[in-house]
Chains A and B, each alone.
Chain A
Amino acid sequence: MVNAAPFPLIGIDDQDASGLDATMAEVQEFETFVRNYQNMVFSVAARIVGNPIDAQDISQEVFIKAYARFDELKQSGTVGGWLKTVATNLSINHLNRYRARWRFFSEEENEVEIPTFDPPTDDRRESLELAIQKLPDAQRVPLVLFHFQDLSYDEIADKLGISLAKVKTDIHRGRDSLRKILVKTS
């Protein structure tokens, strides 16, 4: 039996319709992909920008970029790394764009005060997560890049456009702040 063309009047034949089916199948496949990686991408963005709403927008942008290269990424073994790198770069760009650069990546060695907060629960991990979000940008960003993205000091300095000494100081201060917060809340 010969299959009739689904939309013969507007010139869409079986081949075109099967192309649409393939596109829809690809979209479904991509949905599974997003489900698998959404927490990871969101975590990277949220920890860098320290704000879940901005992190959501950044995550969306990351996945749209991923969709544009989905054919390549499907076959690649380094999807996670690619997503992390794109999320990191977009988050840093976001901070550069929306915050005063001199405050964020300043070479000045001003002492930054850590805001105090009441931990919502006794959960140590939740307290630590919240403490990271509460760190000032200048300390949080290098610390997150060092601990979560496993970047070296040199790579962080290069990415943020600041000196190596500044990176080391900021990470050290950030860790001190976290340590104090955790000791206080434990």
Chain B
Amino acid sequence: MKEPNEDWLDQEIKRLPDLEAPPELLPKVMRSVQQRSVRRWVMSIFRQHLPFIKNSGLGFALAMLVLIPLFNPIAALINFLAHTPLLRFLGDMLDVGGTILTNLRVFQLPLGWLVALVAGSSYLTCILAASTVRHLATAKRS
């Protein structure tokens, strides 16, 4: 409801035209609208072809199930990798390491046993320390 005494100020305000929008507004709006419209179109195509995409995926999976045992690509890959010089070098180094761990003896024990013993006891110590700290923290809070 307007005030009863509409005066010249009301008239002036009523006569005010719309402000002019800055020229960069339209390009800005259209840029984001175009991005949205393309995204919307791609999604509509995806939805429209969803059964085809699903069936293709299923067909591909079935084809793989048949082809993998026939051609055994994993074995071919391992075979290929085994012939690369770096992996052969790594294999040799692992052999040397294994020999040292089983044949070298410290205090009548094989080095491998000793390493496993130290690693196991360190792990147990860490677990014990962590659970003690947690227990103490909980006890202090309560």
Binding site for B on A (CB under 8 A): 11-12, 16, 19-20, 23-24, 26-27, 30-31, 34-35, 38-43, 46-47, 52, 56, 59-60, 63-64, 67, 124-125, 128-129, 147-148, 152-153, 175, 178-179, 182
Q: How distant is B1 from chain A, measured CB to nearest CB, in Å?
A: 5
Contact, CB under 8 Å: A42 / B12: no
Interface pair B13/A128, CB less than 8 Å apart: yes
Q: List 30 A-B contacts (CB under 8 A).
A: A16-B45, A16-B48, A19-B41, A20-B41, A23-B40, A23-B41, A24-B37, A26-B37, A27-B37, A30-B30, A34-B29, A38-B26, A39-B19, A39-B21, A40-B18, A42-B20, A43-B19, A46-B19, A59-B21, A60-B25, A60-B29, A63-B29, A64-B36, A67-B37, A125-B16, A128-B13, A147-B14, A152-B1, A175-B9, A179-B9
- Complexed CA–CA distance, A30 and B31 (Å): 12
Which B residues touch A59, using CB under 8 A? 21, 25, 29
Q: B63-90, CB under 8 A of A: which get 1 and which 0?
A: 0000000000000000000000000000
Check A147 against B33 for contact (C-beta < 8 Å): no
Separation of A18 and B32 alpha carbons in the complex (Å): 22
B51 within 8 A of A: no
Q: Nearest chain-B residue to A63 (Cβ)?
A: B29
Name B's A-contacting residues (CB within 8 A): 1, 9-10, 12-22, 24-26, 28-30, 32-34, 36-38, 40-41, 44-45, 48-49, 52
Q: For residue B34, which residues in chain A have a CB less than 8 angstroms away from its CB?
A: 27
Whether the pair A23, B49 counts as a contact (CB closer than 8 A) is no
* In contact, B13 and A27 (Cβ under 8 angstroms): no
Chain A neighbourhood of B17, CB < 8 A: 125
Q: Chain A at the B interface: mostly helix, strand, loop or mixed?
A: helix
* B24 lies within 8 A of A30 (CB): no
Which residues from A are CB-within-8-Å of B38? 23
> Do B12 and A56 touch across chains, with their CB atoms under 8 A apart?
no
Determine which of A56, A128, A178 lies in contact with B24 in the assembled complex, contact meaning CB atoms within 8 Å: A56
Bound CA–CA A13/B28 (angstroms): 31
Q: What separation, in Å, do the CA atoms of A19 and B9 have in the docked complex?
A: 53
Tell me which residues across on chain B come within 8 A of A24, comparing CB atoms: 37
Instruction: Pick the contact of B33: A16, A30, A35, A39 (CB < 8 A).
Output: A30
Chain A positions within 8 Å of B48 at CB level? 16
Contact of B20 with A39 in the complex, beta carbons under 8 Å: yes
Q: Which of chain A's residues has its CB closest to B15's CB?
A: A125
Closest to B40 in A: A23
Whether A38 touches B41, Cβ cut-off 8 Å, given contacts A60-B32, A64-B32, is: no
Of A67, A178, A182, the residue contacting B36 (CB under 8 A) is: A67
Contact B37 A42 (CB under 8 A): no
Do B33 and A56 touch (CB < 8 A)? Answer: no
Q: In the complex, what distance in Å separates the CA atom of A56 from the CA atom of B26?
A: 10
Contacts of A52 in B (CB 8 A): 22
- B41 to A: closest C-beta gap in Å: 5
